[in-house]
Structure 1
């Protein structure tokens, strides 16, 4: 008698379907009359776009969040941001632990895949700490922002704004409630808002594995190679972006020229940090010079770090590739960082991630130039990169997208958050190692 074949889903398939289900639920909730101020609910395509942007912690919006949605609608968006930022498997683990349920091996594998962790050892303990880190950081950010907002709004509104913007920015989402697509431009030279939001974005973007290692450093007195690379690369790109934007925009009357020296530095710093996949802005993106916009595109594409709330190809991916290039130039066979050799499988994966991301951005840019006729090419490329890297910055194209354009950006945001490789693994048949190797061939390169 033949046994029935059990239906089985790989971890990548579960992650893809899980994110898709959360987005669909969010979209349906946003179409309800109770979600919008006009009492009509959002059109399904716009609701799907908003739910995808929130769950994928992107921040691109086709309608203004602060003026379109009721408190219910805004809380739906905030919930999607929190679940999307931390990953639904982290929340599933939390509920299982609260119910006293034992975490199975399959669930641990899913959690490892969701957090992009190298090892499964201590993965449940890491999930617990992630929730604690998130609560403490978001609460601290909410308190600081509430104190500042209390000078501009009634205390109830200030508290709500503080909580919303703290959660949104720690999860690198970039949604705001300031109205009329203004984001945080009115606080461009405000040190409390700027530095608090920058800290939230950076902490959310370095990754929970790094955060956990920094927490344990007082006991272990050592940092892994991964953490060292993430910290050095993050500091380098924040500094590069700040200096670059400062000098490129120094004489721009529409951005930082009218500001004081401290305002110029704060504005440049914020725009450099937020380009690392956050999405909020204190400078008008559409008024930036082309050189600044191109610099931001590069920063967006590289993005945050693995296991974080941010997107992009990730800092470690870029550093690995640069290390491979430098080793090739020097005639060295191995890629070495801090006296440790990087395996070839890691280099191949970094190359695959980078090329698949670059290919996706190129295709999306090409298609959008066809569907969004009459729009500036740089504006379209900026939008495509922002969607892939789940950044949320826009030169103003998002609200003007056609229905086809919205659909394309929805897919791009989803692919950017879940990962092109994860989607590829999810839709292909199970991968088995080759039973044999072909003879080596030679081709000329360069």
Structure 2
């Protein structure tokens, strides 16, 4: 019955509208469940506003919190959050389709179009096969990481609690959500197994399911798509460069890396470089870092992860196209080229559009929150970019003292950041584009 209702809804809406409404429904249901008394620990009842903020942060795999997760929510509430994170990270349409396939249901063309939109695919070819890979890949990676975490915590918690904590943090970190049940991960700044497993989880979740599908099929195809090459190379460069910059800036900071050994400093630097892709997990106090480090983190969070991944931001591919376009202009060339492939001008226009829209969605809320909230401009900018990039790092603006208006604004920003501003715009303006029958004369403007 539920499947028939879902199909009826899908048949009457555009793919973009289905994604928007689906995520909204997931957030509303999650908010109600987290608001129930059974979801809170004794003496920690939360308001519906806080429940809405937490549910949005979970579905949009952001990780920003206005209440401490482990201390506020009961086992039931934590499980609800874990399910919301899983469905938000993989995508509710991916989960719905996977259940339909498991029940032997046929996937219609309309549903394939919606899945294509949700996974940022160019076409519907092989989309069902990709769904199977996405779910299987996610479950295998999360299960393996959960066991490794459980082995790490077995002696401290016992088998049952260690396995549960391992599962929760595996789902949270792989989906780049960043929620933790410890009230902070400062105790694990020197913990090599936890840091290494977390870094691998973050990177695997951040490269995207399309890239992972290419990696899995490489033994058969012996080739990578241009998308995969761009994501892997630029993600690796950004990860390495980010680790070096954080290590350099924080090396002598007495309240972050200063008291650590050189090995722990290096490990922590690369852990935080990975977490900037969209994870939001941290083992040191972000607000105690130097301003140069914090500003660099803002830039990396704005860039974000890969398309079709659990991460946010303008995407690493957008950043790569912009760099290639700048390099082309500086060299006086006409064609934008990446890995011996010429990029169309439409692709460059899209990259510029996504970047400019992203900047607007960061600048305007930052200016507004600078008026309505207390806190330094840098901390407000940091948390705003973190919300838009669905990262989850915070310099303290997103906390219990955040005003109702501020919470609402960040909720909207997390929602837009997870879906993407262009998808949201198409959902609100669902009219067929008309072909322009004429062109204006070319004009000349002096630039630079």
**Which bin holds the TM-score, normalised by the shorter protein?**
over 0.9
1:338 Cα offset (Å): 1.2
Number of the residue aligned with 2:165 = 161
8 Å CA contact 2:69–2:78 kept in 1: the answer is yes
SS in 2 for 1:152: helix
8 Å CA contact 2:14–2:430 kept in 1: the answer is no
Number of the residue aligned with 2:398 = 398
Number of the residue aligned with 2:93 = 89
Alignment partners' CA distance in 2, 1:391 and 1:316:
17
1:41 Cα offset (Å): 4.1
Q: How does 1:261-276 map to 2 (within 5 A)?
A: 261-276=262-277
Post-superposition Cα deviations, 1:27-57, rounded to whole Å, max 9, x if no partner, equal 0011111000026742110000000000000
8 Å CA contact 1:275–1:391 kept in 2: the answer is yes
Check 1:167–1:7 CA distance in 2 against 1; reply closer, same or farther (3 A cut): closer
Alignment partners' CA distance in 1, 2:69 and 2:22:
25
Number of the residue aligned with 1:439 = 441
Greater shift, 314-323 or 432-441, is seen at 432-441
Number of the residue aligned with 2:61 = 57
Q: How does 1:341-360 map to 2 (within 5 A)?
A: 341-360=342-361
Number of the residue aligned with 1:211 = 212
1:441 Cα offset (Å): 2.1
The reply to whether residue 385 of structure 1 matches residue 389 of structure 2 is no
The reply to whether residue 249 of structure 1 matches residue 242 of structure 2 is no
SS in 2 for 1:341: strand
Number of the residue aligned with 1:361 = 362
1:226 Cα offset (Å): 0.5
SS in 1 for 2:155: coil
SS in 1 for 2:342: strand
8 Å CA contact 1:16–1:426 kept in 2: the answer is yes
Alignment partners' CA distance in 1, 2:192 and 2:371:
42
- Using the size of structure 2 for normalisation, the TM-score is 0.96
Number of the residue aligned with 2:303 = 302
8 Å CA contact 2:44–2:72 kept in 1: the answer is no
1:98 Cα offset (Å): 1.6
8 Å CA contact 1:33–1:40 kept in 2: the answer is no
1:155 Cα offset (Å): 2.1
Post-superposition Cα deviations, 1:222-244, rounded to whole Å, max 9, x if no partner, equal 00110000000111011111100
Alignment gaps of 5+ in structure 2: 1-9
SS in 1 for 2:337: strand
1:440 Cα offset (Å): 2.1
Alignment partners' CA distance in 1, 2:119 and 2:178:
21
> In structure 2, which of residues 2, 25, 32 is the aligned counterpart of residue 21 of structure 1?
25
- What RMSD over aligned residues (CA atoms) do the two structures have, in Å? 1.2
1:431 Cα offset (Å): 3.6
Number of the residue aligned with 1:279 = 280
Q: How does 1:216-235 map to 2 (within 5 A)?
A: 216-235=217-236
Number of the residue aligned with 1:335 = 336
Check 1:223–1:7 CA distance in 2 against 1; reply closer, same or farther (3 A cut): closer
Alignment gaps of 5+ in structure 1: 1-5
Count the aligned residue pairs.
Answer: 437
SS in 2 for 1:336: strand
Number of the residue aligned with 1:3 = none
Greater shift, 197-206 or 431-440, is seen at 431-440
8 Å CA contact 1:34–1:41 kept in 2: the answer is no
**Deviation above 4 Å: which 4+ runs of structure 1?**
none
Number of the residue aligned with 2:327 = 326
- Using the size of structure 1 for normalisation, the TM-score is 0.96
Alignment partners' CA distance in 1, 2:43 and 2:294:
38
Q: How does 1:96-115 map to 2 (within 5 A)?
A: 96-115=100-119
1:433 Cα offset (Å): 3.2
